[in-house]
């Protein structure tokens, strides 16, 4: 049977994912199921069922922050483009990426650092309680870890950069710092991740907070 409406396609895709997880004898905790399935839906990669790690109640706390109007700060315009703006507006929040801003480029040049580090410094000053969704830059995670140790308390950190240099180390350090400082965190341990994964996790949290997990509730009928 062919599905043509987006809501039917998404609903069928998630049913396939849940069936294949069952066939693989992978049982997801109820709290994290929506996030893990959304990431698998975005990537067709079942490895995330094993590699995604969560601090206690990370999903619940992230969704609660978004329900309260928290903003999202991300490190790529690609992730920014993938985040559901309609769902976020329903909750009273907005999404931001400062990486391409001229003032960030100027600050990075002046400080002799990367745009990712400069953008995290700016975000930490102006959006200290935001949800941070990092899908590309390990240096952003290192910068956030330093600032969390210094007292920054974001609502949630999503740590999912992809790549080969400093990627694994940045996730491990960020996650350990978040555990120690009681900051909620979701991380894709290992080399895999990326902007699509960051956006997928954000959307799972937005849909949970806004009661939009059923795609038909989003008006997806055409």
Q: Please report, in tens digits, the pLDDT of each residue of the chain (222 residues total).
A: 555 677 888 889 999 999 999 999 999 999 999 999 999 999 999 999 999 999 999 999 999 999 999 999 999 999 999 999 999 999 999 999 999 999 999 999 999 999 999 999 999 999 999 999 999 999 999 999 999 999 999 999 999 999 999 999 999 999 999 999 999 999 999 999 999 999 999 999 999 999 988 887 776 433
Beta strand pairing call for 72-74 and 95-97: parallel
Q: Does the annotation mark 96 as catalytic?
A: no
Longest dimension (CA), the chain: 58
Which pLDDT score is estimated for 219?
Answer: 65
Domain residue spans of the chain: 50-215
In CATH, the number for domain 50-215 is 3.40.50.10230
Residue 138 has which token pair? 């390990």
Which pLDDT score is estimated for 221?
Answer: 39
Which pLDDT score is estimated for 77?
Answer: 96
Kindly give, in sequence order, each residue whose CB lies less than 8 Å from that of residue 125, ignoring residues fewer than 6 positions away.
none
């Amino acid at each position: 049977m062919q599905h043509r409406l987006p809501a039917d396609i998404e609903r069928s895709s998630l049913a396939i994912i849940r069936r294949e997880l069952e066939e693989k004898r992978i049982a997801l905790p109820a709290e994290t199921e929506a996030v893990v399935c959304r990431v698998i839906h975005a990537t067709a990669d079942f490895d995330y069922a094993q590699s995604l790690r969560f601090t206690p109640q990370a999903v619940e706390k992230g969704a609660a922050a978004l329900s309260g109007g928290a903003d999202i700060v991300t490190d790529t315009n690609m992730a920014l483009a993938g985040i559901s703006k309609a769902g976020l507006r329903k909750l009273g929040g907005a999404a931001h990426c400062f990486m391409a801003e001229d003032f960030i480029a100027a600050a990075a040049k002046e400080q002799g650092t990367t745009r990712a580090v400069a953008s995290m410094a700016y975000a930490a000053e102006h959006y200290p309680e935001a949800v941070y969704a990092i899908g590309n830059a390990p240096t952003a995670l290192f910068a956030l870890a330093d600032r969390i140790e210094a007292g920054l308390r974001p609502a949630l950190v999503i740590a999912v950069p992809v790549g080969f240099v400093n990627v694994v180390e940045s996730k491990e350090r960020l996650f350990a710092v978040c555990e120690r400082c009681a900051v909620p965190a979701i991380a894709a341990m290992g080399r895999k991740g990326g902007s699509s994964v960051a956006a997928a996790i954000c959307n799972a949290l937005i849909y949970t907070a806004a009661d939009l997990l059923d795609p038909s509730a989003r008006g997806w009928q055409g």
